Amino acid sequence: MAENTARKGGNLPPLELYVPEPRYRPGDLVDYSHLPVPPAGQLSRPDENCPASDTWPMTTDMIRVLDEEDQAVGPWNPGLDPETLRRMLRNMALTRAFDDRMYRGQRQGKTSFYMKCTGEEAISVAHAQALAQDDMVFPTYRQQGVLISRGYPLVEMVNQIYSNRGDALKGRQLPIMYSSRDYGFFTISGNLATQFPQAVGWAMASAIKGDTRIASAFVGEGSSAEGDFHAAMTFAAVYNAPVVLNVVNNQWAISSFSGFAGAERTTFAARAVGYGIAGLRVDGNDALAVYAASQWAVDRARANQGPTLIEHFTYRAEGHSTSDDPSAYRSAQEREEWPLGDPIMRLKKHLIALGEWSEEQQDAMDRELVEHVKAATKEAEKNGVLGHGLHHPFHTMFEDVFEELPWHLEEQAAQAIRERQIKWPEWKEEGDV
């Protein structure tokens, strides 16, 4: 017995494994008093050309512009004109209206899957406003606001979600995984964090060519635990890549809370310090703060001052996807008690405080946007919905890899079509040859 004790460490205490636990579970009362929310306008704004180390105190603080009286205050106030603010508000409201319509479409069986960005609209819309139209965005599946802000047709978005015969991606991507080179929107990937090193590589190539375009990439806080995140950070730091790297900390990665990605130790923005790059932490529900931080990082990248890591501190108001039930793992009070509020409501109230908007105008705009999304959906549904047989010709499964399809793939395509026709003799493909 004495020998076994000595072998186990003698009088040393046994080691213990720590497993993070969220503060609240279903049914719990929620109290966010532990969450430090600094007053708006208190952080200084350094010059975009400053040493990266000048930004590091901001990685554990928070950039906020809109105060409790709905006024824009402090040095980070971007001073946007009312027309720009109204455009951002409209794009945020349109994004939400689109999400709501597509969510209902999924519940009606028109598509297999959907992911909403409710509560996070300011991040994609305000960030897109700060970018040039031809800068390349490497998004996740909650940046539909970027496409909407850039004027991508809603009908095309719905076609992709329904994987119908009008789908520009020919049914090869999961719903909501859009791609559009013309709109500077890199293909969304279901593999987490792959877009971070891709964005850095794209930015490096832009610099090698002497171009003027920069890249911007997004991941959720859970994906920041992936190796791709750290590989991207290393390359961005070493080669001073002109890229903005965004971490959307919405507190939950599916059913795993942010502690599993390291949130209990420090902020996600603080990871910039270890790599020696600029870092900012911003109130993700404050559209003006998001715009200001994004503009700062964009200007820094374009001035050859290198990458910036931005943490957008927000909350995922609804489920991870239509396949998720958040009531199974988090308190329903979390959304109600979230101290940073709703991004659309905050920007609306700011415009009203400026005398540039009203509740009546908001109601009228919301009704208009609902009809706008409805009309786009009806138009897209003419191309088919899930399971209705209106899709791209079967032969397209074999296309778009080779400029000219090799003979053996032609044989495989013909065999596949023939076998399908034998199995389903009533099957006809509109547009097939």
pLDDT tens sequence across 23-42: 999 999 999 999 999 999 99
155 and 264 share a domain?
yes
Output 266 or 421, whichever has higher pLDDT: 266
Domain encompassing residue 367: 39-381
The predicted structure's pLDDT at residue 224? 96
Average pLDDT over residues 139-162: 98
Mean pLDDT of 283-306: 98
Pair 300, 418 in one domain: no
Tokens of 398: 């074999």
> What does the pLDDT read at residue 425?
83
Question: Are 120 and 248 a contacting pair, CB within 8 Å?
Answer: yes
The 215-220 sheet, strands edge to edge: 136-138, 215-220, 243-249, 308-313, 278-283
Query: Do 317 and 406 lie in a common domain?
Result: no
Residue 6 pLDDT greater than 60, yes or no = no
Q: Nearest to residue 180, comparing CAs of 114, 127, 136? A: 136
**Residue where the block lists tokens 């959307």:** 248
Using pLDDT thresholds of 50, 70 and 90, give the confidence band for residue 387: confident
List Cβ neighbours of 351 (8 Å cut-off, separation of 6 or more): 82, 85, 86, 89, 357
Nearest in space to 145 (alpha carbons), one of 247, 218, 214, 232: 218
Same domain, 353 and 410: no
**Which range is least confidently modeled, 243-257, 324-338, 415-429?**
415-429
| CA 126 vs CA 95, 129, 303, 362, 385: distances in Å | 12, 5, 21, 19, 32
Q: Report yes or no on 238 lying in a domain.
A: yes
- State how far the Cα of 236 lies from the Cα of 270, in Å rounded to an integer: 16
Residue 118 has pLDDT above 50, yes or no: yes
Residue 432 pLDDT > 50, yes or no? Answer: no
Clarify whether residues 248 and 364 are in a common domain: yes
Q: How confident is the model at residue 7 (pLDDT cuts 50, 70, 90)?
A: low
Tell me if 1 is assigned to some domain: no
Q: Is the pLDDT of residue 426 over 80?
A: no
**What pLDDT was estimated at residue 8?**
64
Ranked by mean pLDDT, which of 11-15, 92-96, 413-417 comes out on top?
A: 92-96
Q: Is the predicted pLDDT of residue 389 greater than 80, yes or no? A: no
Contact 157, 144 (CB under 8 A): yes
1 pLDDT more than 60: no
Residue 386 resides in a domain: no
| Count of structural domains, the chain | 2
End-to-end C-alpha distance for the chain, whole angstroms = 81
Is there a contact between 296 and 40 (Cβ–Cβ < 8 Å)? no
Percent of the chain with pLDDT over 90: 91
- 342-352 average pLDDT score: 98
Task: Answer whether residue 347 is part of any domain.
Answer: yes
Over its C-alpha atoms, the chain yields an Rg (Å, rounded) of 24
Whether 207 shows a pLDDT value over 70: the answer reads: yes
SS3 (DSSP) at 286: coil
- CATH code, 219: 3.40.50.970
pLDDT confidence tier of residue 121, bands split at 50, 70 and 90: very high
Residue 202 domain-assigned?
yes
129 with 232, same domain? yes
Please tell me the predicted confidence (pLDDT) of residue 100. 98
State whether 398 and 366 are in the same domain. no
Examine the domain organization and report whether 411 and 355 are in the same domain. no
pLDDT per position as a tens digit, 49-90 = 999 999 999 999 999 999 999 999 999 999 999 999 999 999
Query: Is 162 part of a structural domain of the chain?
Result: yes
Task: Tell me whether residue 28 is in a domain.
Answer: no
Angle between helices 287-302 and 82-107 (to 10 degrees): 110
Query: Is the same domain home to 129 and 218?
Result: yes
199-214: average pLDDT: 98
Question: Pick from 144, 142, 130: which is nearest to 87 by CA?
Answer: 130
Closest by Cα among 362, 342, 371 to 90? 362
193 belongs to a structural domain: yes
In this prediction, residue 431 carries a pLDDT of: 42
Predicted confidence (pLDDT) per residue in 415-425, tens digit: 999 998 898 88
Residues 354 and 406 in one domain: no
pTM: 0.94
Do 306 and 405 reside in the same domain of the chain?
no
* pLDDT at 421 (0 to 100): 87
Q: Are residues 283 and 408 in the same domain?
A: no
pLDDT at 433: 38
Mean pLDDT, all residues of the chain: 95
The stretch 265-278 carries a mean pLDDT of 98
